[in-house]
Structure 1
Amino acid sequence: MTGTTTLTVAQALVRFLTVQHTERDGERHRLVDAVWGIFGHGNVAGIGQALLEQGGAMPFHQGRNEQAMVHAAVGYARQCGRLRTHAVTTSIGPGATNLVTGAALATVNHLPVLLLPGDTFATRPADPVLQQLEVPWAGDVSVNDCLRPVSRYFDRITRPEALVPAALQAVRVLTDPVATGAVTLALPQDVQAEAYPWPEEFFRPRVWTVRRPAPDPVELAAAVAAVRAARRPLVVAGGGVRHSRAEDALRAFAEATGAPVAATQAGKGALPWDHPADVGGIGHTGTATADALARTADLVIGVGTRWTDFTTASGTLFPPTARFLNLNIAPYDGHKMAGLPLIADARAGLEALTRALHAPGPGRRHAPDPAYAAEYAGAKADWEARVDAVYAAPDPTARPTQTQVLGALDALVTGEDVVINAAGSLPGDLHKLWRTRSRDQYHLEYGYSCMGYEIPAALGVALAAPDRPVWALVGDGTYLMLPTELVTAVQEGLPIKVVILQNHGYASIGGLSETVGGEGFGTAYRHRAADGAFTGDPLPVDLAANAASLGMRVLRAGTVAELRTALATARAADVPTCVYTETRTPDTVSGAPPAQAWWDVPVAATATRAAARAARIAYERRAATRHRPL
């Protein structure tokens, strides 16, 4: 008979988490490496005291904003290939509800993070207690129920003994490559501090195998037949390639078949930019090379992609005659686009598909088509010449454009650097232009495209990869959303490099607003003019001074030459460093080539202003080309 150990619920949970491990391909890792927290009355005497009692067994990081703490944990999990993550604890009330955006981001992107919000009293000694939401028709509802729709698993621990099955289910979901995302265990503050005799079995080390399911033979045979019949195949690499560490298997498949490889935002870097098969980003923010190939493809092979509207150009990119083959570990995604499903781990599926294509037996062996390869090689060379042109800065004394900032950074970094971004006009420029050198250099959160993600995510990446230069690229709009974790970077001594591009407003949405008849309304950071519109002088906001006030070393760069020097200094720095530059706006928003494919943003069907009427005519013309697979 197993013995027991008396601990509080919070102490038991922290101790349990210290002995949970993942294992894949023979490599073992601790699952939860640290806890981020901000303490209030809902968790200070529970989880807070338990972390103190555990000492160094469970490291603690002090955050400044609850949403940012989730972003940091997500950045850590992504850098660790979803095999390791962090937990986040908050008090009840506003601390807990501040988790919602971060939880949604984690779940949308299939990235594991454990959320441990405090909750109101389970025993209800007084109603209401401080920060309690009173719901007249449901006595068991709290603000934490806001986390249900954005969590892949949710439980409220109202009795100590309920922790055992809930904790096991939480770890099951965190380590499931299909189901993973945000996992929430809501912890009433009285239950956190309650003692209970826990079975010793609960604290024995557990290893959770991260599965690599192989494809079904029938589905594999259908996939092989489809590839052999294709004359213009195109691979679309999604985030599943990187989560599976399937980059080598993808390279082997591309070289064996001659199929070009385009990438979603999450999949960019699956092949390095200079591999002959890599044709860059695809979709609305893709390259002309990839999008032209998509328009003439007869077989589109999606590997680990969710087929979002940016990837498919809102259903207008691929021809109606194209067939789809979807290699995906998640059946939900594997059946999209009316495609042939190949439900498997990305690496296992690619390896099986490559072997089967060249196995002896009936049917022809698949061979690359030299003419097709020559076609996309020429188109790729043409696109790279366009990249060189927008990266070039012939006048080093001029203020840089946004693309020239990227060009200066591109000339500096190696495969060791990690570049983080999430929102604004930068994701489009990076997807089109960035020359990714290693599988995890390109860290774009575009599933949720959450402004404010970049700086806290950089902390998580820096903790996961302490010897690598980590860059957070932010516009002024994004910076103002969530700069508070700069203080954490300073406190922890994490030498992240933050590049702030000052363009006086929401440049991306400003450009979009112009194209859909919104005339840039409400997107510029300017004083009001006499007519009340925000068209006056730019605001006298000094973001560099703000970053310096939070403890950052700040380098101001007014010209291209100063920018190059500042970036090199930041890369070599061993303290948190910010490079600040005000960008020059050319004829387009950023200087990058315009969108190579459509994105469906509905335009007003009736309007009095000429811009909106003209935009509606263009919208109806583009919308007419959309088609949906049956």
Structure 2
Amino acid sequence: MTTCGEVLVELLEAYGVDVVFGIPGVHNVEFYRGLSASTVRHVTPRHEQGAGFMADGYARATGRPGVCFTITGPGLTNILTAMGQAYSDSIPMLVIASTNSRPQLGTGRGHLHELKSQRALAEGVTAFSHTLMTPDQLPDVLARAMAVFASARPRPVYIEIPVDVIAAPASHLPRKAHALPAPPLPPASAIAAAANACAAAERPLLVLGGGAVAAPAAAVALAEALDAPTVMTINARGLLPPDHPLIAGEILTAPPILAALAEADLVIAAGTEFGETEMYPDVADIRIPGGLVRIDIDPEQLVRAPAADIPLLGDCRATMAALAESLPADRDSGGAARAAALRAATAAALPTGIAPYRRLMETIDAVLPHAIVVGDSTQTVYHANQFYRPALPRSFFNASTGYGTLGYGLPAAIGAQLGEPDRPVIALVGDGGVLFTIGELAAAVEAGAPVIVILWNNDGYGEIRSYMTARQITPVGVDLKVPDFIRIAEGFGCAAERVRSFAGLADALVAAHERFVPTLIEIRADAPFIRECL
């Protein structure tokens, strides 16, 4: 007999899934019956939240869906935070959970891990959620999930399977992947209308968001066809190479960028929400009086503020390519000169105190120029967001966008490393945030994921401490007792050291890259070489 759980693993293989992040438990062991004979690798985090963050980092680095197995009850509630981060940033994540047997659902009799409704908890952070009531539903429900990831806004999907259904006979089920739909493309008339508006614009401006991250060639083609200064949001960094002459700046609410958006006679925005978390340190109303073309795969996004004058519903890659091909050749709107002026103005507007963070990122680039940099919500990341330009797309992402959770950086970096084993992966974390998920160092050692963790230690929640002080609030709850991170990392089997200069950081990065175990590099925020930069 082949069980439903075994067929699930075979179907995941058929859809190209190569890694599953999960923690086995009494209620979901039947998911694992078929894993040992499959090509799917199982990675065991130390907490279900870590599983979700690993799947998120894997998906962002590779463009493929991250997949998780969880148990009933606490397995789901633990992973919900990670699902919230993925939902906010449009990340493809498939969470498959066990739930109580069908006769026990909704009885309220205190069965192990019982919730009133697991599915109801998941619905708020998913594209859709489904309770599998018979094995026969499995192929179609899994195909629906993969269709979302392939051709719609790629948010998490949650599938729960009662324990009696997981173990039920399913030998009769097909194991073949469904043919998946291609992403949509706007009609030719809409492309033509947008092309006409672009051709008529004298001061166009292009904004690229995370929805365009899979389309670097199309993004460059559109920027150059428009000859437009281009702003890349955090999740879009790397779409244009860092030395491209049309890069205008990094932060939407930098005063020069706000002014450019207001002065442009046309703004073209691809795959961006114009979200508040792209506006650190200050939120501002974005004014686009000159006209707005928006490209997005989500129809609701096209009518949210700022509403599009010309909405293009479709896949960013195909739509940007079609729009670029529709524009006249040899266009000259002075884009490079306008972009250079904006770069200079935004650089001049950067906050004081940014120098040590710039030196940090310059050191990473000099030593490991093609690294994937994964960040937590921490001071190093907040500052790097304002200036950092990675060499490639899918190479700089962090938890300061969207949901803004702490504890993301380390496990997400592990997931990215497992997805891209041939590239160095660096986690930028703070001492406060890393304590949320520091146990995942054990998972990294066990999985053979040699991530490099750069830990910025300021003895607590330094960003919140500064925020309270600036508002004349006596800091409370932000000065933490932090452990000896070097000894903790070594206890997990990692290499670890504290650096005392940027030259020492460079040497530590070189040594870490040559190892086959994770490395933790601690930087004290009050170290003399940091204070000298301020």
Q: Indicate whether the TM-score tops 0.5.
A: yes
Letter in 2 for 1:367: R
Letter in 2 for 1:256: A
2:248 to 279, 283, 293: 279
Alignment of 1:7-406 (within 5 A): 7-20=2-15, 30=16, 32-44=17-29, 46-52=30-36, 55-81=37-63, 84-124=64-104, 127-133=109-115, 141-178=116-153, 180-199=154-173, 202-209=174-181, 211-242=182-213, 245-284=214-253, 290-311=257-278, 316=284, 318-319=286-287, 321-336=289-304, 337-339=306-308, 340-358=310-328, 367-370=331-334, 373-381=336-344, 401-406=356-361
Structure index of larger Rg: 1
Provide the residue aligned with 1:557 in structure 2: 499
**Quick one: structure 1 residues 225 and 231, their matched pair in 2 at CA, closer, same or farther if it must change by over 3 Å?**
same
Provide the residue aligned with 1:623 in structure 2: none
CA drift of 1:437 comes to 1.3
Distance 1:407 1:132 in 2: 51
Quick check: 1:503 aligned with 2:458? yes
Letter in 1 for 2:25: G
Provide the residue aligned with 2:395 in structure 1: 441
Distance 2:379 2:257 in 1: 20
CA drift of 1:497 comes to 0.5
Provide the residue aligned with 1:595 in structure 2: none
Alignment of 1:429-508 (within 5 A): 429-445=383-399, 446-508=401-463
**Quick one: structure 1 residues 320 and 156, their matched pair in 2 at CA, closer, same or farther if it must change by over 3 Å?**
closer
Provide the residue aligned with 1:618 in structure 2: none
Structure 1, unmatched stretches of 5+, are: 1-5, 21-29, 134-140, 359-364, 393-400, 527-538, 593-630
**Quick one: structure 1 residues 439 and 167, their matched pair in 2 at CA, closer, same or farther if it must change by over 3 Å?**
closer
CA drift of 1:114 comes to 1.5
Deviating beyond 6 angstroms after TM superposition, the runs of 4 or more aligned structure 1 residues are 312-315, 385-392, 588-592
CA drift of 1:281 comes to 0.9
CA drift of 1:308 comes to 0.9
**Quick one: structure 1 residues 251 and 589, their matched pair in 2 at CA, closer, same or farther if it must change by over 3 Å?**
farther
Distance 2:230 2:204 in 1: 9
**Larger CA deviation: 119-128 vs 185-194:** 119-128
What SS does the corresponding residue of 1:234 show, helix, strand or coil? strand
What SS does the corresponding residue of 2:2 show, helix, strand or coil? strand
The answer (yes or no) to whether the contact 2:410–2:427 under 8 Å persists in 1 is yes
The answer (yes or no) to whether the contact 1:36–1:87 under 8 Å persists in 2 is yes
Distance 1:59 1:213 in 2: 32
Structure 2, unmatched stretches of 5+, are: none
Distance 1:36 1:13 in 2: 15
Letter in 2 for 1:70: G
Provide the residue aligned with 1:628 in structure 2: none
The answer (yes or no) to whether the contact 2:61–2:394 under 8 Å persists in 1 is yes
Distance 1:77 1:427 in 2: 20
Distance 2:163 2:171 in 1: 19
Provide the residue aligned with 1:606 in structure 2: none
Letter in 2 for 1:217: A
CA drift of 1:75 comes to 1.3
**Quick one: structure 1 residues 320 and 236, their matched pair in 2 at CA, closer, same or farther if it must change by over 3 Å?**
closer
Distance 1:196 1:310 in 2: 46
Letter in 1 for 2:261: A
Distance 1:308 1:220 in 2: 25
The answer (yes or no) to whether the contact 2:150–2:183 under 8 Å persists in 1 is no
CA drift of 1:465 comes to 1.2
Provide the residue aligned with 1:423 in structure 2: 377
What SS does the corresponding residue of 1:49 show, helix, strand or coil? coil
Letter in 2 for 1:321: P
CA deviations 1:303-333 (Å, max 9, x no partner) are 1111212446887454462322101122122
Letter in 2 for 1:15: E
What SS does the corresponding residue of 2:426 show, helix, strand or coil? strand
CA drift of 1:388 comes to 13
The answer (yes or no) to whether the contact 1:153–1:173 under 8 Å persists in 2 is no
CA drift of 1:95 comes to 1.8
CA drift of 1:589 comes to 12
What SS does the corresponding residue of 2:386 show, helix, strand or coil? helix
Distance 1:38 1:374 in 2: 54
**Quick one: structure 1 residues 540 and 121, their matched pair in 2 at CA, closer, same or farther if it must change by over 3 Å?**
closer
Distance 2:38 2:514 in 1: 31
RMSD: 2.9
**Quick one: structure 1 residues 467 and 312, their matched pair in 2 at CA, closer, same or farther if it must change by over 3 Å?**
closer
Distance 1:36 1:369 in 2: 49
- Give the total of aligned pairs: 527
**Quick one: structure 1 residues 431 and 295, their matched pair in 2 at CA, closer, same or farther if it must change by over 3 Å?**
farther
Distance 1:327 1:116 in 2: 32
What SS does the corresponding residue of 1:436 show, helix, strand or coil? coil
CA drift of 1:264 comes to 0.9
Letter in 2 for 1:343: L
Distance 1:87 1:278 in 2: 35
CA drift of 1:373 comes to 3.3
What SS does the corresponding residue of 2:373 show, helix, strand or coil? strand
Distance 2:165 2:76 in 1: 17
The answer (yes or no) to whether the contact 1:410–1:435 under 8 Å persists in 2 is no
Distance 1:58 1:119 in 2: 23
What SS does the corresponding residue of 1:154 show, helix, strand or coil? strand
**Quick one: structure 1 residues 304 and 296, their matched pair in 2 at CA, closer, same or farther if it must change by over 3 Å?**
same
Provide the residue aligned with 1:398 in structure 2: none
Letter in 2 for 1:333: Q
CA drift of 1:479 comes to 0.6
The answer (yes or no) to whether the contact 1:76–1:464 under 8 Å persists in 2 is yes
**Quick one: structure 1 residues 256 and 85, their matched pair in 2 at CA, closer, same or farther if it must change by over 3 Å?**
closer
Distance 2:341 2:333 in 1: 15
Provide the residue aligned with 1:361 in structure 2: none
What SS does the corresponding residue of 2:468 show, helix, strand or coil? helix
Provide the residue aligned with 1:602 in structure 2: none
The answer (yes or no) to whether the contact 1:471–1:497 under 8 Å persists in 2 is yes
**Quick one: structure 1 residues 335 and 513, their matched pair in 2 at CA, closer, same or farther if it must change by over 3 Å?**
same
Distance 1:98 1:275 in 2: 42
Distance 1:88 1:510 in 2: 35
**Quick one: structure 1 residues 318 and 149, their matched pair in 2 at CA, closer, same or farther if it must change by over 3 Å?**
closer
Distance 1:522 1:236 in 2: 39
Provide the residue aligned with 1:622 in structure 2: none
The answer (yes or no) to whether the contact 1:553–1:576 under 8 Å persists in 2 is yes
What SS does the corresponding residue of 2:238 show, helix, strand or coil? coil
Alignment of 1:592-603 (within 5 A): none
Distance 1:540 1:58 in 2: 38
CA drift of 1:382 comes to 6.1
